Structure 1
Amino acid sequence: MKKETEQKVDIDYADRVVPEEGKKGFVTMFMIMLGFTFFSASMWAGQQLAAGLDFWGFLKSLLFGGAILGLYTGLLGYVGAKTGMSMDLLAQKAFGEKGSYLSSAMISFTQIGWFGVGIAMFAIPVAGELFGDSKTAMWALVIVAGVCMTASAYFGIDSLTVISYIAVPLVAVLGTVAMIMAIRQGNGTIVDQFAVSSGSLTVVGGAGLVVGSFVSGGTATPNFTRFAKDAKTGTIATVVAFFIGNSLMFFFGAIAYIFVGGNDIFEVMIRLNLFYMAVLVLGLNIWTTNDNALYTAGLGLANIFHQKKKPMVLVSGIIGTVLSVWLYYNFTKWLNILNCTLPPVGIILVLSYFMNKKDYEDPVAETQVVNWFAVGGVILGAVVANLVSWGIASINGMVVAAVCYLVGQTVRKKK
C-alpha cells in the first residue's frame, strides 16, 4: 500500500483565496486590525497636531482625517473580505501579473523600513533608560525584539491573532490610564493645556497629517480582512479599528508633547515613574504593528520571487533588524516620502474590483502581463503626491492615479 502523504495546510493562503475554513469572526478581525493601527510613529503626528492646533482644531483634524482614512481602508477592507484575496493577488488583477511586482515591491520596501524603525524605537529609549545608553545593550534589545517580532510574523495569521489579543487590551488600558494621569497633573483642563499651541497648523493640514500617518500601512488592509467571514465583518472591523486605534495614538502623542515635550506615551509613563509599564506598553505597541508589517512584506516578496511566504518573512526580518538603527536615524524622512506612493496603489485596487467584478469571480483566471495605465497611474500619483503642496498629499496622488486608471479602462473597452 502506498502511504498517503499529508500536505501541510498553509494557514496564510499566500497564493490563493482564503477558503471558508480559514475565515474568522468580527472580534478576531477587530483585534487584529486594532493592533495593526497601534503604531508608535503615529504618535509623532499627534505631537505635530498638539504643537500646531488648539484642542478643538485637534478634534476637527482627527475627525476629518479619520473619516478619509476610514473610507480608504474601509473600501480596501471590503474588497479584501469580499474576494478573500491578499493585496498582492488583487494587484495581479489590477496591474497584471508582472505589473503587480511594482506594488509588491513598494509595500515590501516601506514595511521592512517601518519594521526596522519600530525595532529601534523600542531598543534605543529602553537602552537609554535602563542601561545608560549602552550600545551593547541597545543591540541586544534590537536582536531580541527583531527575533520575537519576526517569529510572530513567520508563524502567520494565528500568531498575529494571539499577539493582538494580548497586546491590544494592555496597550489601550495602560496607555489611557497614563494619559489621564498626565492630564490631571497638568495646569487646567485638557483644553487649557492644548491652548499653549503655536496655532501654526490648519485643520486641513492637521487632517493631512492624520491621513498620512497610516495611509501606507492601510494599503495592506486586504492582507488581513481577507480572513473575515464576510464583507460586512471585514469592513466594519476595519473602519472602527482604524478610527479608535489611530485616535488613541494621536492622543498619546499629543499628551506626550504637552506633558513632557516628547512624542511617545513611553516618555510620559517614565515621568510618572511607571518604568516597567512603560517598557511593556512600548514593546507591545510596536510589536502589534511590526509583525503585521513584516507579514505584509513577506507576502509582497513571495509574489515577486514566487517563493513561499515564510522564508520571505525571515529575509525581511533579518534585513529590517540589521538595518534598524540606521533606518531610524537616516531613513525615516524617506519613508514618509514613500508613504505617498502607496495610496495610488490602493485606489487602483478598489477601482479595479468595482469596475471589473467578473474578473474576480475566477481567482486563477489568466491576467494580462502588465496594465500600463495602472502602473503609470501609480508613478504619476506618487510624483504629484510628493511635489504638489496644495491640499492633502495622499488624496492628490489617489486622484491622479484614479484618472490614469479610468483612462486605461476607457481605452480597454474601445478595443
Structure 2
Amino acid sequence: MKKIDVEYSLQAVPQSERNNFWKTLSVMLGFTFFSASMLAGGELGAGLSFSQFILIMLIGNIALGMYTGSLAYIAAKTGLSTHLLAKYAFGEKGSYLPSFLLGFTQVGWFGVGVAMFAVPVATAMDWNVYALIFIFGVAITASAIFGMKALVVLGFIAVPAIAILGSYSVFEATEYMGGFDTLWSYEPTETLTVAAALTICVGSFISGGTLTPDFARFAKTSRSAVVATVIAFFLGNSLMFLFGAVGAMSYGLPDISEVMFLQGLMIPAIIVLGLNIWTTNDNALYASGLGFANITKLPKKVFVVVNGLVGTLLAMWMYNNFVGFLNILGAAIPSIGAIIIADYFFVRKRKYGTFKEMTFKPVNWVAIGAWASGVVIAQLAPGITPLNALIGTATVYIVFMYLASIKMKKEEAPVLRKAD
C-alpha cells in the first residue's frame, strides 16, 4: 500500500486538506512567537530611545508583513511550499540554491534557539552548558520525528503562556524603571543608526518569513492566508521585540531570559521559554528538512536528524554571533523571496501552470544572476540591507526576464526570405 505524504512536501496541497482562518492564524502566530526575536528586540532597546524603538518596530514589521503577505497569497493560490515555488523562477535544479540557503539558515535558527534556552538555564542552575545544549537539541530533534501531533498541542500552550509571561515581565521592568513616563524618556548610552536598527528588525525574521509558503499553503483561501500572515508577523513579532526591548532598557540586558531570572521568574521562565523554543525549533527543522529533501529527494526525516545534530553542534557559535548572523541573512535570503514574488506577479502575471503538469527548465540563469546581484546590491548600496536586497533583486529579475523574452521572440520569429 502506497504511503500518503500528509505534508505534501513534493506536491500541491489539495483544497480538501486546507485549514480555516483561525487554524492558519494559530499556526502563523506560533511561527512568529520566537524567543530569538526577543533577543533582537533587546539589541534594539539597548541602542534606541523608546519612541525610536516603537517607530522602527512599526516600520520594520509593516515591511515584513507586506513581504510575507505577498508570499502567503502565492502559496494559498498554488498550494506549494517555498521550495516548489522556486522551481518556476529558478528551474528544477536551479531551485536547489534557495533550498540550500533556506535550509542552512533554519539550521542556524535551530542552533540559536537551543543556546537561548541552555545558556541562561545552565547559568542559573550551575549546570554544564554544553551538556544541556546537547540534551535539549537531541530531545527537540527526536520530537520532530516522532511527536508532531504532541508539538501541535504544545504550541497552543506555549503561545499564550509566553505572551502572558512576557507581558508580566514588561510590567515589572517598567515599574523597576519608575513607570511609563521614565520608560518613554529613556535614552541609550550607545545609539544605533536607523539603517542598522531596521536591518536588525527586518533581518530578524526575513529568513523565516521567506519560508511563509511552507505554512500558508494550507490556508483555504488566499485572503485568509494573507490576513493571518500579516496579523501574525505584525502582532507576534512586535510583541517579541517589545518584550526584549523593555528588559534591555530597564536592566541593561538584551537577553529576556536573564531579565526574567532577575525578576524572580526562574521556574516559569525555564518552562515557558523551553516550550516556546521547542515548538519553534520544530518548525525550523521541518522547513530545513523540506529544503534538503527537495535537493536530494531523500526522505525529509533523514534531514530532520542531520540538521538537528548540526544545529546542536553550532548552537554556541550562532548564539555568540547573533547580530552578525542577522546581517548575513539580510544580504542572502530576501533575494529568494523577491524573485518568487516578482516572477509570480510581474513576469507570469499570476498565471502559474498546474505543478504536476509542469516541465521545468533545468536552470534559469536569469534568476541565479538576479539573486547574486541582489546580494551585491545589499552589501554595497547605502540604507537598509534586507530592503535593498528585495528591491534590487526584483528590479534586476523583471528587467532581464523581459529582455530574455524579447530575445526569445526574435529567435522564434520566422525568417522572411525574398522570392527568387
CA distance in 1, matches of 2:285, 2:357: 26
**Ranges in structure 2 where 5+ consecutive residues have no aligned partner:** 409-420
Aligned residues: 405
Residue of structure 2 equivalent to 1:94: 89
**Kept in 2: contact 1:14–1:86 (CA 8 A):** yes
Residue of structure 1 equivalent to 2:274: 283
In structure 2, the CA distance between the partners of 1:376 and 1:169, relative to structure 1 (3 Å rule), is: same
**Kept in 2: contact 1:385–1:394 (CA 8 A):** yes
Residue of structure 2 equivalent to 1:149: 140
User: C-alpha displacement at 1:333, in angstroms?
Assistant: 2.3
Residue of structure 2 equivalent to 1:319: 310
Residue of structure 1 equivalent to 2:412: none
C-alpha deviations, 1:115-158, integer Å up to 9, x for none?
1121111112101101x2x32xx234223322332244335875
CA distance in 2, matches of 1:78, 1:190: 41
Larger Rg computed on CA atoms: 2
User: C-alpha displacement at 1:290, in angstroms?
Assistant: 1.4
Residue of structure 1 equivalent to 2:405: 413
Q: In the alignment, does 2:352 pair up with 1:359?
A: yes
**Ranges in structure 1 where 5+ consecutive residues have no aligned partner:** none
User: C-alpha displacement at 1:29, in angstroms?
Assistant: 1.5
Residue of structure 2 equivalent to 1:263: 254
Question: What amino acid does structure 2 have at the position aligned with 1:406?
Answer: I
User: C-alpha displacement at 1:193, in angstroms?
Assistant: 5.5
User: C-alpha displacement at 1:106, in angstroms?
Assistant: 0.4
Taking the TM superposition and a 5 Å limit, the aligned residue runs for 1:173-322 are 173-189=164-180, 191-192=182-183, 194-198=185-189, 200-203=191-194, 205-322=196-313
Partner residue of 2:98 out of 94, 103, 118:
103
User: C-alpha displacement at 1:47, in angstroms?
Assistant: 2.1
Partner residue of 1:128 out of 100, 120, 123:
123
TM-score by length of 2: 0.90
Question: What amino acid does structure 2 have at the position aligned with 1:396?
Answer: N
CA distance in 1, matches of 2:303, 2:281: 15
CA distance in 1, matches of 2:148, 2:393: 31
Residue of structure 2 equivalent to 1:383: 376
Residue of structure 1 equivalent to 2:43: 48
Question: What amino acid does structure 1 have at the position aligned with 2:170?
Answer: M
**Kept in 2: contact 1:75–1:235 (CA 8 A):** yes
CA distance in 2, matches of 1:82, 1:338: 27
RMSD (CA atoms): 2.1
Residue of structure 2 equivalent to 1:17: 12
In structure 2, the CA distance between the partners of 1:284 and 1:277, relative to structure 1 (3 Å rule), is: same
User: C-alpha displacement at 1:284, in angstroms?
Assistant: 2.3
* Identical positions, percent: 46
User: C-alpha displacement at 1:335, in angstroms?
Assistant: 5.3
Residue of structure 1 equivalent to 2:416: none
CA distance in 1, matches of 2:42, 2:317: 23
- Of stretches 80-89 and 316-325 in structure 1, the one that deviates more from structure 2 is 316-325
Runs of 4+ in 1 over 6 A off after TM superposition: none
In structure 2, the CA distance between the partners of 1:82 and 1:158, relative to structure 1 (3 Å rule), is: farther
**Kept in 2: contact 1:187–1:193 (CA 8 A):** no
Partner residue of 2:339 out of 348, 352, 371:
348
